[in-house]
Amino acid sequence: MTPSFPQTATGPELDLAFGLEADLAPILRHQAGDLAAPLAAEARWQAHLQHWLDQLTAELPASLRAPAYSLGLEICGDAAIAELNQAWRHKPGATDVLAFAAQEDAPPLPAGAWDGDDAEALELGDIVISLETAARQAEDQGHGLERELLFLASHGLLHLLGWDHPDQASLERMLERQERLLA
Q: Residue 29 belongs to a domain with what CATH number? A: 3.40.390.30
7 is a domain residue: no
Taking residue 67's Cβ as centre, other Cβ atoms within 10 Å add up to 17
2 is a domain residue: no
Residue 8 CB-half CA count within 13 A: 11
Q: Bridge-partner residues for 125, per DSSP? A: 71, 101
Query: How many domains is the chain partitioned into structurally?
Result: 1
5 is a domain residue: no
pTM above 0.95, yes or no: no
What is the span of the domain harbouring residue 162? Answer: 13-182
pLDDT in tens, the chain (183 residues): 333 333 444 678 999 999 999 999 999 999 999 999 988 999 999 999 999 999 999 999 888 989 999 999 999 999 999 999 999 999 999 999 999 999 764 444 344 444 445 467 899 999 999 999 999 999 999 999 999 999 999 999 999 999 999 999 999 999 999 999 999
Query: What pLDDT score was predicted for residue 11?
Result: 79
4 is a domain residue: no
Find out whether 133 and 77 touch, Cβ atoms under 8 Å: no
Query: What pLDDT score was predicted for residue 119?
Result: 60
120 is a domain residue: yes
3 is a domain residue: no
Query: What pLDDT score was predicted for residue 118?
Result: 46
Query: What pLDDT score was predicted for residue 174?
Result: 95
Query: What pLDDT score was predicted for residue 103?
Result: 78
35 is a domain residue: yes
1 is a domain residue: no
